[in-house]
Amino acid sequence: MIIDAHSHLWLKQDTSIDGKRILSLKNGRSVFFDEEVQMLPPFMVDGRNTAEVFLSNMDYAQVGGAVVVQEIIDGCQNDYLTEVQHQHPDRFFCMGMAWNRKEAEAVKKAGLRGIAIPGHRVKESLFTLMPMFKYMEQQGLVLSMCLADDERQIGEMAEVIQECPQLKVAIGHFGMVTTPSFEQQVKLALQGEQVMVESGGITWLYNAEFYPYPSAVRSICQAADWVGWDRLMWGSDYPRTITAITYRMSYDFICKSRELSEVQKAAFLGGNALRFYGFKNLPHLPYIKNMSE
């Protein structure tokens, strides 16, 4: 059983941050902070990063379910993800974007299952969001939180966890594993019983090393030494990471590693996420042989 704890979907990128444009183009490219980049694989010719294409990738890679988070750079995708959640309730756990309690109430009413905060792009104190966090705790909404690489946000997040002990929190980007904040971010999982760490973006952060990412494997083992294997989850950061590698490659470097036991691999790749997010009725996805094999 494999579950992706960090992925993205959008119909079109069309937004700006600090006056710089993000806009979907053709052939998988986007304007990204006024620079043209390969945002998606080139076969995504229309710039649409849809659930249907993702499901095809998931089925091929034998990934049963996926958590869909949001990022400011993609624009708010609440309307589209509401459709996805209702159309594919067993395969996706979709998170809304919200910045206050009223918006969080709308996310809950729409049937989305959590709220994603790209904290590394937030300039204000996380404490300004405390009323929303309290509401999320009461309503059972999961918080996906990617933190900036600074001590202020880590300290504030620790206080949020203490103030909202029943709030489920998933720390994203594996605690910014290649930065000095890695240990402090991962150890947030020791602050509360409902806190997990997911590895979305780890292949991006170790992109210079590239597949099979031996340093990433060692970092995963290090994090497990700090907080235990039951607090860690695999995430791909689909689709941006599959411009460099295939979707299956974003996790099979774990499967092929000799540094992890089969029990550890099973927990990291799906067992922990199944427990944390409560996926039900995941499909059985048999291996389909490649024509070239």
pLDDT tens track for 131-147: 999 999 999 999 999 99
The 10s digit of each residue's pLDDT in 15-56 is 999 999 999 999 999 999 999 999 999 999 999 999 999 999
What are φ and ψ of residue 20, in 5° steps? -105, 140
Per the CB < 8 A criterion, the answer to whether 2 and 283 are in contact is no
Which positions ≥6 away from 26 have C-beta within 8 Å?
45, 46, 47
Q: Residue 157 phi/psi, 5° resolution? A: -65, -35
110-130 pLDDT, tens digit each: 999 999 999 989 889 999 999
Tokens (6 digits) for 164:
């909202």
Q: What is the pLDDT along the chain (293 residues), one digit of tens a residue?
A: 999 999 999 999 999 999 999 999 999 999 999 999 999 999 999 999 999 999 999 999 999 999 999 999 999 999 999 999 999 999 999 999 999 999 999 999 999 999 999 998 988 999 999 999 999 999 999 999 999 988 899 999 999 999 999 999 999 999 999 999 999 999 999 999 999 999 999 999 999 999 999 999 999 999 999 999 999 999 999 999 999 999 999 999 999 999 999 999 999 999 999 999 999 999 999 999 999 98
Q: Which amino acid is at 106?
A: A
91, 65 contact by CB (below 8 A): yes
CA distance 111 to 229: 31
Strand-strand pairing, 232-233 and 195-198: parallel
137-233-182-217 Cα dihedral, nearest 10 degrees:
180
